[in-house]
Structure 1
Amino acid sequence: MVQIIFWEVLHMNEIEKNKYHETKTHSSAEFLFNTYPCSIPIDFPSVPLHWHNDMELIVIKHGSAKVTLNLTTHQLSAGDILVVLPENLHSIDCAIGDKLEYENIIFKKELLSFATNDITMSKYLTPFFNGDFPIVTHVHMGYSFYSHFVKIINTMDVLCDKKEFGYQLAIKSCLLELIHIMIRHPPKTEVNKKSEKSVDKIKEILTYMEQHYNEEIPIEKIADICHYSPSHFMKFFKNHMGTSFIKYLNDFRLIKARTRLLTTEDTVLEIAGDCGFNNLSHFNRLYKNKYGITPSMTREM
C-alpha cells in the first residue's frame, strides 16, 4: 500500500528545513523510536491528511489543535494526547493566527516484537496494533489514567535527553506500560468511528492522486475508481474531507510545486507543467492565493 505523507516540511531539503526547526532526533536503524517538537505554523502550515505504518502519539504542549483521526474530528487543548495507531488517517491544524506547539512521538511496532508463540504478541500486541481493541484515542484530564499516562511520556522524554546506559530498554518498558493502560481502560461509551469502508475509499483516492497528480484527473475517472457516480463521489469527498476534490488536488499540486521551486533549478513553466498545471497564469494565481507570493518570489527566498 502506498503511504501518503503530505507534510511540506518532509519534502524540504535539510537547509530549508533547518531554517524553521531544529529537529530533536532520537532514532536510529537499531532503535526504531523518535521524538521531536513541532510547531504550526512555524515549522509547516499544517499537517494534511496522511497515514503510515508507525505508531504515533501527538502531545499538545501549547495552543489548541483541530485533529482528524480516521475522518473523525477532535479538538485538542494543551495537555491533551492523541493516539494514532498504524495505518490510521490523520491530520493536524490550528486556527488562522494561532500557534500550536506539540511533541511528536513515533515508533515502529516492530520495536515491541516478541516471538510469535509468545502470548503477549498473539493476545495483546498484534490485536492492539491492528486496531482490534477499543481504546481511548483522545486522552485528556477527564480520564482517571491521564496523570499516569503523562508521567510515562515525561519519563521517556527524560530518558531520551540523558541517554544513559540501558535507556532503550526503559523506553520499551514505558511503551508497553502505555499500551497496557490503553487496553485496560477502554472507552466507556461506544466510539464514534467512520466506517472502515469510507477510510479505505479515501486512502484509495489519495493514493491515486499521489501517483497521477501531474496528469489531468477528470472527476469521472476518480469517481470510477471508487465505483461512484461523479455526483456521488463529489458529495462523498466533500463530506469527509471538508473541501472539494478539485481544491484538494490543486493544494497538493501547489505543495509539490513549492518543493520543486525551493529545491531545484527547473523553470517555473517546467514545474507548473510537471505538477499538473497546463496554464501558467492559472498556476501563478492559485500559488499566490495559497502562499501570498508568486512562484518567482519563492525562488528568491
Structure 2
Amino acid sequence: MKDNENIEKLRGIRDSAYHETKRHTDIMFAFNIYPCTIPKDFTFVPLHWQDSMEVIYVKRGRGRVQVDFMTYEAEEGDIFLILPGHLHGLRSVVRESMEYENIIFDMSFLGSDSVDLCSQRYLQPMIRGKVQIPAHIGKEDVLYSKIAACLDASDHLCAVRSRGYELAVKGQMLLLVSALFQEAPDREEYNIDDRNVQKLKVVISRIEKDYNKKLTVDDMAAECGYSASHFMRWFRKVTGTAFLGYLIEYRLGKAAQALRNGDDTVLEIAEQTGFDNLSNFNRLFKKRFEMTPSQFRKNNG
C-alpha cells in the first residue's frame, strides 16, 4: 500500500525541477544541441528526469555521469544515452573540467506517435522501458563508431544548416536507434526495477523541494516506507553516495549558484541553502571547491 501511495505522491510532484518540464526543443523541430562545461556553467547537475531522449557526448576533460543507479567516470569521447523517464545527473571532478554536448530530442521527432511498424516495434518499446540500451558507450565499444558517426554528422548538419538539414538530422537519429537495436535484438523484455526508480524519484523530488529545510534520514525513510538503516543502505546502493553526502552536495551546488549569480552575503546564502552554522558551511564549501565562498564568488563573478 505504501508503494502505491509513494507512486501517487510522485505523480503529484510532476512540476518538480527534478522532473524537467522545460522544453528544450522547437515543437516543429524537436532536436537541439547544447554545448556545456562543468563546473564552469554549473557546479553539478543533480539527478533528474525528463520526457525527452538525451545524449551526453563528452568532448574534452573528465567528470562523473550517473544514469539510473550506475555512476561512470566520464572522459573524452564517452557517450551516454538516457531514455525518457530515466534518472541522470553530472558531477565535476576536483581540479578537472568537462566539456560536453547535451543532445536532446523528443521521441515524436523520430515518429513515435505514428501508427506503423517502426513506432510499434522499436520506438514505443523504448519509451515504455521495455528495451535495454547501453547507458554508456566508450571508444572500445563495438557500437562506438556507428553512434559517434551519427552524432558527429548531426552536429555538423546543425552547424551548417543547409537546405534540408532537418531531414538529414532525423535520418541520423534513426540510424542511431537502428544501430542500438542491431546490437541488442533480444532484449525487448528488459525492464529496470521500476519500484526503485519510483522511490528514488520521490526522494530526490523531496530534496529539491525542501533542501533548505531540516531533512533527516528518518524523514526520507518514511517517504519510502523503509526503516532508517535500510534507507541508508538502499540510497547508497542506488546512488553510489550516502544520503547526507548527497544532500550536502546539492546544497553546496545551490550555494555556488547563488554566489555566482547573486549579491546576498555568504551568511545569507548559507542560511538560504540549509546550513545553520556559518563555520560549518565555510568548511564544507572549501572542502568541496578548494576555496572559500568569498574566493569562489571573486573567481566566478
TM-score, scaled relative to structure 2:
0.79
| 1:237 paired residue number | 235
What SS does the aligned partner of 1:133 have? coil
| CA distance, structure 2, for counterparts of residue 115 and residue 191 of structure 1 | 21
> Given the superposition, is the C-alpha separation of residues 135 and 243 from structure 1 closer, same or farther in structure 2, using an over 3 Å criterion?
closer
| 2:32 paired residue number | 34
Question: Is this contact kept in 2: 1:58–1:83, CA < 8 A?
Answer: yes
| CA distance, structure 2, for counterparts of residue 297 and residue 97 of structure 1 | 15
What SS does the aligned partner of 1:124 have? helix
| CA distance, structure 1, for counterparts of residue 261 and residue 93 of structure 2 | 29
Answer yes or no: is 1:249 the counterpart of 2:247. yes
Within a 5 Å distance, the mapping from 1:64-83 to structure 2 comes to 65-83=63-81
What SS does the aligned partner of 2:226 have? coil
Question: Is this contact kept in 1: 2:211–2:274, CA < 8 A?
Answer: yes
Question: Is this contact kept in 1: 2:43–2:256, CA < 8 A?
Answer: no
| CA distance, structure 2, for counterparts of residue 297 and residue 64 of structure 1 | 24
| 1:4 paired residue number | 18
Note the residue ranges of structure 1 that are not aligned, 5 or more in a row. 11-25
Q: Which structure's relative contact order is higher, taking Cα pairs within 8 Å and 6+ residues apart?
A: 2
1:229 to partner: Cα distance = 0.8
Q: Point out the more displaced range, 60-69 or 235-244.
A: 60-69
> Given the superposition, is the C-alpha separation of residues 215 and 48 from structure 1 closer, same or farther in structure 2, using an over 3 Å criterion?
closer
What SS does the aligned partner of 2:163 have? coil
| CA distance, structure 1, for counterparts of residue 213 and residue 65 of structure 2 | 30
| CA distance, structure 2, for counterparts of residue 247 and residue 76 of structure 1 | 21
| 1:92 paired residue number | 90
1:208 to partner: Cα distance = 0.5
Question: Is this contact kept in 2: 1:33–1:108, CA < 8 A?
Answer: yes
1:165 to partner: Cα distance = 1.4
What SS does the aligned partner of 1:51 have? strand
Alignment RMSD, CA only?
Answer: 3.2
Question: Is this contact kept in 2: 1:3–1:51, CA < 8 A?
Answer: no
| CA distance, structure 2, for counterparts of residue 271 and residue 41 of structure 1 | 19
Note the residue ranges of structure 2 that are not aligned, 5 or more in a row. 1-13
1:295 to partner: Cα distance = 3.3
Within a 5 Å distance, the mapping from 1:129-278 to structure 2 comes to 129-186=127-184, 195-278=193-276
| CA distance, structure 2, for counterparts of residue 94 and residue 283 of structure 1 | 20
| CA distance, structure 2, for counterparts of residue 262 and residue 147 of structure 1 | 39
Q: Point out the more displaced range, 171-180 or 194-203.
A: 194-203
Give the residue type in structure 1 aligned to 2:280: H
> Given the superposition, is the C-alpha separation of residues 187 and 204 from structure 1 closer, same or farther in structure 2, using an over 3 Å criterion?
farther
Question: Is this contact kept in 2: 1:70–1:193, CA < 8 A?
Answer: no
Match of 2:100 among 99, 102, 106: 102
| 2:8 paired residue number | none
| 1:54 paired residue number | 52
Within a 5 Å distance, the mapping from 1:16-27 to structure 2 comes to none
| CA distance, structure 2, for counterparts of residue 56 and residue 258 of structure 1 | 25
Q: Point out the more displaced range, 79-88 or 167-176.
A: 79-88
Question: Is this contact kept in 1: 2:37–2:99, CA < 8 A?
Answer: yes
1:241 to partner: Cα distance = 2.5
1:186 to partner: Cα distance = 0.4
Question: Is this contact kept in 1: 2:56–2:80, CA < 8 A?
Answer: yes
> Given the superposition, is the C-alpha separation of residues 269 and 65 from structure 1 closer, same or farther in structure 2, using an over 3 Å criterion?
closer
Question: Is this contact kept in 2: 1:80–1:141, CA < 8 A?
Answer: yes
| CA distance, structure 2, for counterparts of residue 116 and residue 170 of structure 1 | 19
Between the two proteins, the alignment pairs up a number of residues equal to: 283
1:234 to partner: Cα distance = 1.5
| CA distance, structure 1, for counterparts of residue 155 and residue 72 of structure 2 | 25
Residues 209-255 of structure 1 show CA distances to partners (whole Å, capped at 9, x for unaligned) of 10111211122111111111111111222233233222221221122
| CA distance, structure 2, for counterparts of residue 120 and residue 40 of structure 1 | 37
| CA distance, structure 2, for counterparts of residue 271 and residue 65 of structure 1 | 26
Residues 141-190 of structure 1 show CA distances to partners (whole Å, capped at 9, x for unaligned) of 55544333322222111111110112112111111121122122207899
Give the residue type in structure 2 aligned to 1:175: M
